[in-house]
Amino acid sequence: MSVVPILLEIRDWLPFLYSLLFVVSIGVFKKHTSLSLIVVLLALFEFISNAITLPLLDIMNDKSIDYVIRLSAWVGFWVLSNRLIIELLQRAHEWLNITKGKELVMVQGAYIGLISLLAIDFINQITFKTIVIDVLYRFGIPTINLSIAGYLLFAMLKHMEFKKWKAQA
């Protein structure tokens, strides 16, 4: 189980990668694209979630409250914040009038995957307590986060080709 801490360690560096991607994106494309918008919002979200995870865990470790209530508060918080980021990404595209592309669909799909994983783990924790689903959850959350970052990096490199200039009459 020593892989999970490494994955979590890499995940803590994601907001910095996203910030770098944002700067490279606006530098290369010279305008706000769907990709730069997604990347900057994800960077903000990751910064905030990294900052509040530990204080929230301290509150949740209060043994005087029933375990199920603490667990549902924890899962509920993350489900709602993931739902919020899905909505925020969509709204930001509408506010800035940017076409919703494949990248946004993939990122939103990944966040829906995170919500499902949280729900599955919650059911497992209160009923079956299977080790398999627990391992799946522990691996799944950082893996999905890292795949979002990897996909966005790949998408940016794919778009970074030089296109012939065309006159637009």
Q: Please give the residue ranges that form the binding site for another protein (CB under 8 A).
A: 66, 68-69, 72-73, 75-76, 79-80, 82-83, 86-87, 90, 93-94, 97-100, 105, 108-109, 111-112, 115-116, 118-119, 122, 126, 169
User: In Å, what is the CA distance from 107 to each residue of 56, 60, 90, 104, 126?
Assistant: 25, 29, 11, 5, 29
Smallest distance, Å, CB 111 to another protein? 7
Query: Which amino acid, one-letter code, is at 63?
Result: K
Write down the H helix ranges in the chain. 3-12, 14-29, 34-60, 67-95, 102-123, 131-159
Shortest distance (Å) from residue 126 CB to another protein: 7
* Of 52 and 84, CB closest to another protein: 84
Which lies closer to another protein via its Cβ, residue 59 or residue 69?
A: 69
